[in-house]
Each structure stands twice: as structure tokens, then as C-alpha cells.
Structure 1
Amino acid sequence: MAVMEPRGREVDQLDAVVPLAGDTPVSRTSRPVFTTGRHVGPGSAEPDSLMRRYQRQALAGDFLASLAAGGLAAVARFGAPGAAYLVLTLSLPLLWVTIIAAQRGYERRFLGTGPEEYRRILQAGLVMFCVIAVVSYALRSEVARGYVFLAIPATLLLTLLSRRRLRTWIYRLRERGLALQRVLVVGRADVVVSVIEKLDREPQHGLVPVGACVPFVGVEVSHVHDVPVVGDPGRVLEAVADTGAHVVAVVSHPDLSGQALRRLSWALEERGVELIVSPGIIEVAGPRLSIRPVAGLSLLHLERPVASGGRMLGKMVFDRVGGILLTAAAAPVLLAVALGVRLTSRGPVFYRQVRVGAGGREFTMFKFRSMVVDADHRRAALMAISDGNGVLFKLRKDPRVTRFGGVLRRFSLDELPQLLNVVRGDMSLVGPRPPLPEEVAGYTADAARRLKVKPGLTGLWQVSGRSDLNWEESLRLDLRYTDNWSIALDVSILWRTLRAVVKGSGAY
């Protein structure tokens, strides 16, 4: 939890020892030194210039992606396209970047982090399809459907790949401590610690805490979770000057609300410093949040998680169709693995186990058998040496795993038969980890919320460390998915799963 130390230490004993300048990296253990009345630290040029470069490259990449997609579609559809389709192909990139801009796809707050950048690209693709259809109808000049159905998906795909390349570039810079915005966190110490922990845990968002303003109750402190305390919430502007902060994050402080927060926003605006306010709501995706202005107040509206209706029907169709297609595509692998299990150890090819699905309903889950036949009976004797996370039983070197089973587990091939559970409707392609009945029996009220959606063949737990996660982290990821699932998130997780399986990280 919080590391709150007495303020009596000298400045040269603080964790931050070297101020940043120019391209000097920012890191968790390299914070600016603070002394009263002295400004130490660089200006804001570096992250600003790099993000402007990101914007320019994003626009250029989108333009070239549409130009390439239109050219490929024209050649594939017509071989030698006529003048009309040549003009259309050259016009598509301008239309594409204009639509993305109208969807606010080049705003810096959406670039380089989170799913919103990709979501706006997908929305732009739908808008472009509609625009072409409407213009074609209005001009009574029907555009060849083959051209449209090639050009738009190819534009989307190439654009997403281009943005992914940019993400990789900016992530690598941030891992080196570059392109980071310095953040001053203001609020109660316990909440400030929580925010700092999250920002330090996920540096890809480009925010690094460099100072904290917390109220002093009884005893002053010098550090909060390894971040220097540079004052109380009453001296935010002085702390901004001391730290060279690009962003002020206000979290749960009653004295910084209403008119006081408004005045602070004006003062920060004059200094070119961003203001972000945490409402105290955790693990809620952006699409579920909206601002509802009422009587001059900006009220934060929180949409309820989707548990029924059209979107849930869409997920069911996505799961069933995707399950059938993946089963058909994986049929040769399924047959090869089944033959390998049969030839390398005695016992059945499949391992059947009762798991708990949505609403607490039990079902039989299928896996390729990767252990000896009497593995369940030998589990009790191994409980004392479990490498699990306190709730789940796991062993890094489980003596019950067969040699061939070890290979299957390394690449998650033993889980492929769960595609049959997806096709049957017991599971989803993406969802929380399917729990055992004895695990569910010990669930708290929070953990029981995992059962509001179907368990998944993969999920956030699969792409975030798998067996290396502790129980609290696994539960947090499952609850995040339960409350914020979407088809776009499912597609993203499926793509990340492929990479996690190839690397074999956290699998044993």
C-alpha cells in the first residue's frame, strides 16, 4: 500500500536524483529533484513534438493505406480501371482522412493509448461505406460492389496495421522514458497512491507521476509511493512550476471541486497545463461514460453493463459463427493432436471436467488430455507445493503432465476442444476464465459477478500473464471484461491471444 515517510530526510536522500532535460528518459526511479523556490526539470517540448509527429504519421499512413487499398481493389476488380475509377481511387484517400478527422480520430487524447483510437477508425470505415452508397444513389451512378467490398475492408485493415505500427513505435519510446507527460497528482494520500500505482504499472499510456499534493494530517510526509510530496492541495500552481508538470490529475478531494476546480482549470489553461479529474470510478470503459449537462452541472452518466438485448445477441452470433469457422480451420490440428495424445500415453484423448458458466449453470468442458489418467486423484498430495495464486491450483513443473502434454500446454493446444463448447453455447470465444464448482463455492460477492457472462476460450487473463497472475489481478481483469465487453474488445483480445500463445508466456 502507501509508502509514506517522514518529511525529515534531506533532499539528496530522495529517490529522485537527476532532473530531466531534452531527451533524457523519465523512469520510476529517476524523478526530478525538488527544492523550495527552484524550478528543476525540462519544458514540455519533447512529448508535444513526438505526439505531433505521431499525428502527422497517422494522417500520412491513413492516406497511403486508402490509396493502396483503392489501387488494389481497382486492379483486382477491373484489371485496367477506366478513368472514372481512377478518379475515385485517387479521391478515396482524401475522403478517408476527412472522415477520420470528422470522427475526431486525430485528436491527441485518443492517440497512442487505449482502444478509442481503433474504435474511431472502425466508425470511420462504416461512415465511408454509407457515404459512398448515398453518393452513388444520389448521382445515379452505381459503384461496382466488388470494388467497394474490396476497397473499404482493405482500407480499414491497412489503416489499423499502420496505426499499430505507430503504437509500437511510441510504446518503445515510452519504455525508454521518452514521450512521457509528467503528472502532478492531487488528492487524498490513499487515492493518490492508487493512481500512481496504476500509472506506474501501465507506462504505455504515456503518463509518469513526478509529484504529489496531499493534505497533511498530523505529520508531514516527504514521499507517497516513491513520488515526492511537493505540497498540499492549496499550492497546486507552485507545485506545477516546481515539477514542470504537463498534466494535473485531481482525485477525490472535497476542497478541489465546484468553483475552486473551475478556477484551477483557468489558471492551468493560462500555463498550458492539462487538467484531468478522476471521478473515483474504476475499471469502466470509455463508451459507458458520458457527460450529462443538467442545470449548469456536468454530471457523469454511467451506463449499465450490457447483459441482454441486441448486443448480447450479436455476441452470441459472433461466438457461434466464429466457433464454427475456427473449428473447421483447426480441424487438421485437432486430428494431429488427438493422434499424438493417443500414441504417447494411455487413456482417453479428451479430458472432461465440470465447470461453471453464466448464471451459475454447470457444463462439461472439453480439453485434450495433457496429464496421466489418475491426475485428479493425485492432486490432493500436491496441494502443499502449489504455484497457484491462492485460489487456483497450479504447478510450474507438475509431475502429472505427460511429455506430449507439456508441449500442448506450452502452446495452449490442449484447450482447442473448447471450441466445441463455444459452438454448443456453453462458452464464448472471449470471456472470464471458466471456474470449477469448488472455486465458485468460495466466491465473494465481487467474484460472483464474473458469472454474469459466459466464460471464454480466452480472455484478458489469457493475454495478461495467464498462470503468472495472482488471484486479485485475475479477478480484476475478469471483472473489467464482464463490465465492459464489446465485439471490438473481443476481436482485440483474440488477436493478442495469438501472440501470447506463440510466446507461451505464463503457460504451465
Structure 2
Amino acid sequence: MVAVDISAPLQGMDVDARTEVPRLPWPRRAGSVLVRQGVSGYLAALAVSWYLAARQFELPPGWTAGVLVVTSSWLLYSFAALPAFERARSFRPPSRLVGLVGTVTVVLMIAGAENSTTVRRATVATLAAAAVLALSSALHRVVLRHTPTILVGHIDSVDHLQRRWARRKDVNVVATCSWRAPHELAPAGAVSDHSFPEIVRDVLAAVAERHATSVVIASSRAFSNPALRHLAWALQRAEVECLVVADMSDHVEYLSPRRVGDQIALSLRPPNDHLMSLLAKSVLDRVIAGIALIVLSPLLLLIAVLIRAGSRGPAIFRQERTGRDGRPFTMFKFRTMVVDAEERLAGLRADNEGAGPLFKLADDPRITAFGRVLRRTSLDELPQLVNIVKGDMSLVGPRPALPAETSQYSSWVWRRLHVKPGLTGLWQVSGRSRLSWEDSIRIDLQYVNNWNLRLDLAILARTVRAVLSRDGAM
């Protein structure tokens, strides 16, 4: 990884908008156009459209020419209308082409086109281009999912983001360019100052060397600092995406831009803050949980019998947990410990391996032999399907916390109780017992502030993989 230390502070820097910005070398620009900007998808879309119109459907020459003119014109316009870093992965060109074809088809039908079969075939040939382009965009999203990114900003902010994004699969930090505050600089003469053109060249040189397609500015002064704005303009000329991190001190709120008067503001309104989304989630939870209880009933009965046969006590363990908005409820689990586990807890507090107020012990002597099997496979959680049907829990949500834990919550941690606790959640598919207390809270808040049904389905799919790999289970 390249790390450029820009030692000169940026505030108060006198910059010239006419400063010549170094251009990326021609091979880099040509490779970007041919490989990273999805030209192959655009050419394939045009080829498929021509093949269907001229060869497969054998349309009259005038209709074939019309299909090719409409398709090629739209593809050329779409390519030129998008920034370089969006061309390969954007679904806007195919979706808008579908809208255009629909409009033209309706107009032709209203005008009374003589041969409806010809119109239908021309429509299919054009829509095929949209389908191929959509497939190309989807493939590029998979292939280019690791976005080569350069972080620019104060050294503390850059280091913080680099640690946060170290294990992410959608961001690949390939270089950093940072500076220190004036009071952190080395003694006079130890570090040479950089002018604005040198800063631009440092960042663009890292972009060219590391083939970065995105530059993230991590600075609270990004919008008010003229030097950083000039850097953004330079990146625009180099066809590199420039982003500014909105620092929310790890509260991971949902942010969406909105124009207020002549200014851009960031809205903190959650994306699903309405009754229909809550109703859809509740119905989906109960339907899936009800079906799962019916399908898994033989397995549930077998586990209950094995628990009773292996140790004294009931098969189902009941415990009070804290639900949505702090309301208590009784949570059901298969019993994995001896019946007097709660009474023996005080003697084990000194050996606690859990994070924050959580109690975890890898070799907990209270766990039965069959209980360890249930925990490693997460089968002990299955009775919580009953809680979901009752409406106390959801399929996906934050971990259901004990009242002893929630009594220690600060006001901002209490935010995680604004949704129902879940059978699974981001915390489970992100490491569970390996997470620190701060990371588990941050992940829960990330879910609370950004949840949607598509995210729920993705978490459910990842849960299957986490359970099979026993990731983080204790």
C-alpha cells in the first residue's frame, strides 16, 4: 500500500484554479475505457440487437436500420451521459431504454402501424439490447465489487477509516494520502511544505499507480476548504469518483442528500420509517416462522426428547429478555445448561470472556454435552420461532438483550431497542462472539438505521452460511 504524508496543513492555502492538473497516462485511460467502463457490454448489446433484427427476424431494411439507429444512438448517449466510474455498473441505461422502447411502441400502435408482427419483432430486438446491457452491468458489479479506493484527509481520520474498512469486501483501500494538524508538525525544517499542485499530483500519481477508481476525502472541512474543492475538480478531470465521508461518530445513521433552498443537506430519516414497511416485515416474519415451525416440528420434538434424556430438567429454557422499546417478554430456547445454571453464574463472573455487559465463557462448565452440540449448530435458537409468531421477535434484528444489560445502556445505545430483537442479525453474520462490545453495538445500530426487506433476506442467506461454518458460535 502506498502512503503519502502530506505534511502541510490545507487551511488558508492560496490556490490557483488555473493550475495545470497532471493527466493520467494514455495506456491507463485507454485501459479504463476498454475494460473498466463496460465498453464490451455496450458493443455486445448492439450486436445482439442487430443479429435479431437482420438475421433472426429478417425485418425489412428500413425497420432494421431504425432498430440500429435507435439502439446505437441510445447506447452512445448513455455512455457519454454517465461518469466514467458508473458506466460499467449502472442499470440506468437499460432501464431507460426499456422506457423509450415502450413509449415508441405505444406511439406506433396508436398511429396504426400496418404490420403489428413487425412492430413486435422490432421491439424485441431493441429490448434484447437492454437485457444484454443489464446483464453486463450485473456482471461488472460482481467483477468490480472491490472498488480500488484512496483515502485522503487528516491522518487520524484516514487511519480510523482504514481500520473500519480493513475487512470489507466492497472497498479496497489501495493507498492513503494524509496530513497532520499544524501543532503536530515536525520542527521547522524537518518536513518540507507542499503546495496545492504537488498535493494534486501526489493523489493523482497514487490513482494512476494503483488504478484507483474512487477517492474518499475524510475531513470535516471538506466542503468549506477551497484546497479540497480544487482537489475534487482535479479528480473530476481525471474521471475518478470523489466522495466525502459524512462523519457521524460511528452512529451509522441513514443519510440521504436533499436540497434545502440553495444548499445541500443530509436527511437522517430512516428509509423504511412508515407503517407499510413495518406491516410487510411483520407479516413476512410470522408467515416464514409459522411455516418453519410446521416443517421442523419432527426435529424440534427429537431435540426435546434428547435433552430430557440427557439431563434432568425441562427441554425448553425460558428467560426474560428486553423487546422493542424496552418492553420485557419471555424468550424460548432449548435448554443447553444444567437446571441450576443461574444460581452458579455468580461464581463464574470473574472468568467472563464476553464484551461489555455480556457474559460469555468458551468452556462454561454449566453447559451439558448435548447442549454444546446444540450451541455449535445454533439449533438451540429454534424455539424462538414461537416468539416470532407471537410478535415478540423478528426473524432479523438486534440480539435480544437481558434486562441486566439494557439497564447499563447509554441513551444512544438504547436506540438498538427501537426495533424488535431478531432470531438472527448483522451481529450474527459478522462474527458474533468474536466482536467487541463497541463493534456489536455499531453493527446493531447500522441495522436499526438502515434496515429494509432486501437487507433482511440477505442476512437470512448469510445466516445459513454462518451456521454451517459455526462462525463465532459459543
Does the pair score TM above 0.5? yes
Using the TM superposition, give the Cα deviation of residue 333 of structure 1 relative to its aligned residue in structure 2, in angstroms.
2.2
Q: Distance in 2 between matches of 1:383 and 1:47?
A: 63
| Match in the other structure for 1:240 | 203
- The answer to whether 1:354 aligns with 2:316 is no
Amino acid at match of 1:238: R
Q: Tell me, which stretches of 5 or more residues in structure 2 are unaligned?
A: 8-21, 47-70, 111-115, 117-130
Q: Which has the higher contact order (CA 8 A, sep 6+)?
A: 2
Using the TM superposition, give the Cα deviation of residue 166 of structure 1 relative to its aligned residue in structure 2, in angstroms.
7.1
Using the TM superposition, give the Cα deviation of residue 298 of structure 1 relative to its aligned residue in structure 2, in angstroms.
2.8
Q: Distance in 2 between matches of 1:371 and 1:397?
A: 12
Pairing 1:432-447 to 2, within 5 Å after superposition:
432-447=398-413
Using the TM superposition, give the Cα deviation of residue 280 of structure 1 relative to its aligned residue in structure 2, in angstroms.
1.9
Q: Distance in 1 between matches of 2:30 and 2:470?
A: 34
Deviation string 1:381-435 (CA, Å, 9 cap, x unpaired) is 1111122113110111111111111111011100000000000000011101000
- The answer to whether 1:180 aligns with 2:148 is yes
Give secondary structure in 1 for the equivalent of 2:330: strand
Pairing 1:271-282 to 2, within 5 Å after superposition:
271-281=238-248
Deviation string 1:279-304 (CA, Å, 9 cap, x unpaired) is 32366889741232632x33333324
Give secondary structure in 2 for the equivalent of 1:398: coil
Deviates more, 1:422-431 or 1:249-258: 249-258
Using the TM superposition, give the Cα deviation of residue 447 of structure 1 relative to its aligned residue in structure 2, in angstroms.
1.3
Q: Distance in 2 between matches of 1:210 and 1:457?
A: 39
Pair 47,191 (structure 1): closer, same or farther in 2 beyond 3 Å:
farther
| Match in the other structure for 2:358 | 392
Using the TM superposition, give the Cα deviation of residue 460 of structure 1 relative to its aligned residue in structure 2, in angstroms.
0.4
Amino acid at match of 1:195: L
Give secondary structure in 2 for the equivalent of 1:366: strand
Using the TM superposition, give the Cα deviation of residue 365 of structure 1 relative to its aligned residue in structure 2, in angstroms.
0.2
Pairing 1:127-276 to 2, within 5 Å after superposition:
180-181=148-149, 183-186=150-153, 188-202=154-168, 204-220=170-186, 234=196, 235-244=198-207, 246=212, 247-254=214-221, 257=224, 260-276=227-243
Amino acid at match of 1:239: D
Using the TM superposition, give the Cα deviation of residue 353 of structure 1 relative to its aligned residue in structure 2, in angstroms.
0.4
Q: Distance in 2 between matches of 1:349 and 1:506?
A: 24
Using the TM superposition, give the Cα deviation of residue 107 of structure 1 relative to its aligned residue in structure 2, in angstroms.
8.5
Pair 219,47 (structure 1): closer, same or farther in 2 beyond 3 Å:
farther
Larger Cα Rg: Structure 1 or Structure 2?
A: 2
Amino acid at match of 1:237: V
Asked if the contact 1:292–1:301 (Cα under 8 Å) also holds between the matched residues in 2, the reply is no
| Match in the other structure for 2:451 | 485
| Match in the other structure for 1:429 | 395
Q: Distance in 2 between matches of 1:427 and 1:258?
A: 47
- The answer to whether 1:316 aligns with 2:279 is no
Give secondary structure in 2 for the equivalent of 1:200: coil
Give secondary structure in 1 for the equivalent of 2:375: helix
Pair 403,233 (structure 1): closer, same or farther in 2 beyond 3 Å:
farther
Pair 389,269 (structure 1): closer, same or farther in 2 beyond 3 Å:
same
Pairing 1:375-414 to 2, within 5 Å after superposition:
375-414=341-380
Q: Distance in 2 between matches of 1:203 and 1:44?
A: 28
Give secondary structure in 1 for the equivalent of 2:321: strand
Pair 248,455 (structure 1): closer, same or farther in 2 beyond 3 Å:
same
Which of 276, 286, 290 in structure 1 is aligned with 2:257? Answer: 290
Give secondary structure in 1 for the equivalent of 2:267: strand
Alpha-carbon RMSD across the aligned residues, in angstroms, is: 4.6
Pairing 1:45-124 to 2, within 5 Å after superposition:
45=28, 52=35, 55=38, 108=85
Asked if the contact 2:320–2:331 (Cα under 8 Å) also holds between the matched residues in 1, the reply is yes
TM-score, scaled to structure 2: 0.69
Give secondary structure in 2 for the equivalent of 1:290: strand
Q: Distance in 1 between matches of 2:144 and 2:395?
A: 30
Using the TM superposition, give the Cα deviation of residue 440 of structure 1 relative to its aligned residue in structure 2, in angstroms.
0.8
Give secondary structure in 1 for the equivalent of 2:461: helix
Using the TM superposition, give the Cα deviation of residue 48 of structure 1 relative to its aligned residue in structure 2, in angstroms.
6.7
Q: Distance in 1 between matches of 2:466 and 2:363?
A: 20
Q: Distance in 2 between matches of 1:287 and 1:206?
A: 22
Q: Distance in 2 between matches of 1:345 and 1:384?
A: 27
Q: Tell me, which stretches of 5 or more residues in structure 1 are unaligned?
A: 1-29, 64-93, 142-155, 222-228
Pair 270,197 (structure 1): closer, same or farther in 2 beyond 3 Å:
same
Pair 422,312 (structure 1): closer, same or farther in 2 beyond 3 Å:
same
Pair 243,168 (structure 1): closer, same or farther in 2 beyond 3 Å:
closer
Which of 442, 452, 473 in structure 2 is aligned with 1:476? Answer: 442
| Match in the other structure for 2:66 | none
Q: Distance in 2 between matches of 1:466 and 1:61?
A: 45
Amino acid at match of 2:244: V
Which of 268, 290, 300 in structure 2 is aligned with 1:302? Answer: 268
Pair 210,191 (structure 1): closer, same or farther in 2 beyond 3 Å:
closer
Q: Distance in 1 between matches of 2:174 and 2:156?
A: 18
Using the TM superposition, give the Cα deviation of residue 370 of structure 1 relative to its aligned residue in structure 2, in angstroms.
0.9
| Match in the other structure for 1:26 | none
Amino acid at match of 1:450: R
Q: Distance in 2 between matches of 1:467 and 1:61?
A: 48
Deviates more, 1:370-379 or 1:427-436: 370-379
| Match in the other structure for 2:2 | 31
Give secondary structure in 1 for the equivalent of 2:2: coil
Pair 301,218 (structure 1): closer, same or farther in 2 beyond 3 Å:
same
Using the TM superposition, give the Cα deviation of residue 254 of structure 1 relative to its aligned residue in structure 2, in angstroms.
3.0
Deviates more, 1:427-436 or 1:327-336: 327-336
Using the TM superposition, give the Cα deviation of residue 53 of structure 1 relative to its aligned residue in structure 2, in angstroms.
5.9
Asked if the contact 1:412–1:501 (Cα under 8 Å) also holds between the matched residues in 2, the reply is yes
